[in-house]
Amino acid sequence: MIARVSATTVFCLLAIAGSANAAGKTRTRNVAIVLYDHVELLDFAGPGEVFAAAARAGATGDEPAFRVYTVGRSKSPLISEGFVKIVPEFSIEDAPKPDLVVFPGGGVQSIVGDPALMAWARSAVDSSEIAFSVCNGAFVLGSLGVLDGKTVTTHFGAMSRLRSSFPKVTVQEGRRFVDNGKIVTTAGVSAGIDGALHVVARLLGRAAADETARYMEYRWAPEPYLAQSYASSK
């Protein structure tokens, strides 16, 4: 199921498309994917694959549409799913400023319980164009207070806990993703791919998202009302 967006959001997306077309070229956006011990593998690998592939699909000449990199509390190896060792490219001390910041789900207490990492997350979210969560990565955004007054989603198994933890947030079931403009939340695991493709279509146009999905051999079919909000290309 593809998430519904409000008329206000559609208007904003069309305005964004118009300003991007007026600029005449696509700039390279930094995409920071935040990693930590016990991060869910597909939560970060899915969106990472989307943005990395879309970097080529939406490139302007030799300039890629996205620069994708990982950020950890440090550059020490991390373990995902109990068997995959990952070494973050950057630490919070030297990470480039992100335009998009992705908070995958998993053992998110590793972020929420770390004051230094949360301070970095606060700065990254405040300065970013889009803050994106997958699964219970929404708890990071909720802990920062940026979900208050918004409609969001998360993994079906975390719905009740998200509601009780953040009573000012409206949590909806049955949504692959929910777009609030600056804040995009997705359901669990594979839903991060759908949300990331939506962001690609929103920023780069439907053609770039379609090309990315085709490359990934991923069946992506946004509902007609949603597809109408995407520019054909940027």
Task: Please state, in angstroms and rounded to a whole number, the distance separating the CA atoms of residues 197 and 216.
Answer: 11
Let me know: does 158 contact 216? Beta carbons within 8 Å.
Answer: no
Give residues with Cβ within 8 angstroms of 54, minimum separation 6.
65, 66, 200, 204, 208, 209, 212
* pLDDT, tens digit, 9 for 90 and up, residues 53-64: 999 999 989 899
75 φ/ψ angles, rounded to the nearest 5 degrees: -95, 15
* pLDDT, tens digit, 9 for 90 and up, residues 42-56: 999 999 999 999 999
How many of the other CB atoms lie within 10 Å of CB of 7? 8
Q: Which residue has the higher pLDDT, 35 or 5?
A: 35
Domain ranges in the chain are 7-227
In the chain the first and final C-alpha atoms are separated, in Å, by 26
Burial letters 200-230, b for 16+ CB under 10 A, else e: bbbbbbbbbbbbbbeebebebebeeebeebb
Let me know: does 20 contact 57? Beta carbons within 8 Å.
Answer: no
Kindly state the percentage of the chain with pLDDT values over 90.
Answer: 81
For residue 171, pLDDT over 60 is answered with yes
> Which DSSP state fits 76?
S
Query: Letter for the amino acid at 7?
Result: A
Task: Please state, in angstroms and rounded to a whole number, the distance separating the CA atoms of residues 221 and 131.
Answer: 23
Strands 130-134 and 66-72 turn out to be: unpaired
CATH of the structural domain 7-227, one choice from 3.40.50.1240, 3.40.50.880, 3.40.50.300, 3.30.360.10:
3.40.50.880
Strands (E), the chain: 29-34, 66-72, 78-80, 84-86, 90-91, 100-103, 130-134, 151-152, 170-171, 177-179, 183-186
Structure confidence at residue 26 as a pLDDT band (50, 70, 90): low
* pLDDT, tens digit, 9 for 90 and up, residues 126-137: 999 999 999 999
